[in-house]
Amino acid sequence: MTGDAAVIEVATRDGHAVPVVGATGTTVAEIVTKVHAQPVGAGGAALASVALDRPALEAVLMYCAEQACIADQASCPGCRRRTLADGLATFDDFLAQHRSVASSDGRVRMTGQGVHDLAVVSVEQLSRSWAGEEMWFQARRVLRKLRFGVRNTAGVRPDGSMRGPAPSIILVEPQLADNIGMVARAMANFGLGDLRLVKPRDGWPNEKARIAASGATFVIDDAQWFPDYAAALADCNYVVATTARQRDLAKPVLTPEQAVAELQTRTAAGQRCGIVFGRERNGLETIEIASVDAIVMAPVDKTFASLNLAQSVLLMAYEWMKQSGQGSLGRVTTYETPLTPGPNLRGFEPATKAEVMGFFDQIEHELTQQGFFHPPEKRPTVVQNLRSMFLRMQPTQQEVRTLRGIVKALVHGKGSGRREQ
């Protein structure tokens, strides 16, 4: 299909105005869903899956990404815009618009006030998906891939041969896929790559986790799923568990700094180590903590001790990178070199005292000419204050030259504004 055939029209279906593509009758949402489901970087496969050329596909994606359907007063089935347009604010509102909602196994059946019947795999799954997908967000994501390519993660993938062994991050029954993605991002920030998931509530793999990972998709792609807690810990020699609640267990209680020091020692000795994090809602059960070697508790405000899942992982991952000594202050690219703590002079040398004093002589002379030091007896105090003020900035040679140029321009003018002497 060419770009001419990809003109978006508005058709009426089931009482709704729906944006469709060309004469095919395919909805915009169906196009977006197909190309979004393609593997990352598979631009050619995306085009083939919808039989559109590149300009036509981009036109359809732009329509969705910019939510042009709002101006057309149209919406697609399965899109959250449809839910909003129908005024469905809650799951109960959604159920009430159907005549009946039944699970595929026939065990659950609910009746509403609508005229249509709805068959679903399970009510639990429906409760998570009833509001629809944010199609415009998916369209923007595909557009970025088509136009700018896919971020190359090879350069940031933690390299075990360079960094040495590292602990596994073990999430026990994480409830939100977005949180798993944010955990993956925190891990990638600090050089960790082994993510283990114990029965994530929303299933695995999960596209929402990839989106939330924001480029750290290599952690998501390599993540391991485990059916139970014991299986996730089975190959570990030493495991610590994080918690904000005190437990009545005879176990060592360590700060993140102390825990990571122990993990560093043991991993260097060839032991497999793990750090366990609990559920977002209620953390780890005491019986689960009983199965680990030590408890980790961060110094926090005693009246508000709970951290969210990604924050907890980031705290431990940061401590790991800090103690490993392999971190970088910010990113390092072809055009950005590693930084060290302290003043950043951008390649310029600090000004010498002779250069600074030359600037002081110039500015004090010009201020004297302008009658700034009045009354005269206050001159020594004002001069001291001026010198202290400029010396606090610890200027470079370039900055002193700039300051002298500014004084000269203010006194004599510059270019067309130059004053006659």
In a domain, 179, yes or no: yes
* In a shared domain, residues 167 and 290: yes
Where a domain ends, among 120, 147, 174? Answer: 147
Segment 356-376, tens digit of pLDDT:
999 999 999 999 999 999 888
* In a shared domain, residues 206 and 140: no
SS3 assignment, position 178:
helix
Here the contacts of 129-132 (C-beta below 8 Å, separation 24 or greater) are 130/83, 130/88, 130/91, 130/94, 131/80, 131/83, 131/88, 131/94, 132/78, 132/79, 132/80, 132/81, 132/82, 132/83
CATH number at residue 165: 3.40.1280.10
pLDDT at 87: 87
In a domain, 88, yes or no: yes
pLDDT at 3: 43
pLDDT at 164: 61
Give me the torsion for CA of 227, 233, 239, 241, rounded to 10°: 10
* In a shared domain, residues 46 and 123: yes
pLDDT at 353: 94
In a domain, 154, yes or no: no
CB atoms inside a 10 Å sphere around CB 319: 22
pLDDT tens, residue order, the chain (421 aa): 344 445 888 888 888 899 998 767 789 988 888 888 775 444 555 566 667 788 888 888 889 988 899 989 999 988 988 888 888 888 888 888 888 888 887 788 888 887 778 888 888 888 878 888 888 878 887 887 776 554 444 444 554 433 568 999 999 999 999 999 999 999 999 999 999 999 999 888 888 998 999 888 889 988 999 999 999 999 999 999 999 988 889 999 999 999 999 999 999 999 999 999 999 988 999 999 999 999 999 999 989 988 999 999 999 999 999 998 877 777 666 556 666 666 666 668 889 999 999 999 999 999 999 999 988 898 999 999 999 999 998 899 999 999 999 999 998 877 665 665 5
* In a shared domain, residues 185 and 116: no
Where a domain ends, among 119, 147, 175? Answer: 147
User: 278 with 245: CB under 8 angstroms?
Assistant: no
* In a shared domain, residues 264 and 222: yes
* In a shared domain, residues 185 and 95: no
Parallel/antiparallel/unpaired status of strands 109-111 and 100-103: antiparallel
* In a shared domain, residues 117 and 196: no
Tokens of 391: 């010396």
List the one residue out of 380, 382, 369 whose CA is nearest residue 411. Answer: 369
In a domain, 333, yes or no: no
pLDDT at 21: 87
* In a shared domain, residues 291 and 172: yes
* In a shared domain, residues 133 and 201: no
In a domain, 81, yes or no: yes
Domain enclosing residue 15, as ranges: 3-147
In a domain, 264, yes or no: yes
Where a domain ends, among 306, 324, 342? Answer: 324
* In a shared domain, residues 128 and 247: no
* In a shared domain, residues 181 and 83: no
In a domain, 153, yes or no: no
pLDDT at 264: 94
In a domain, 313, yes or no: yes
Q: How many domains does the chain have?
A: 3
Q: What are the DSSP E strand ranges found in 245-362?
A: 253-254, 273-277, 294-296
Cα 105 to chain centroid distance, Å, stands at: 39
* In a shared domain, residues 44 and 131: yes
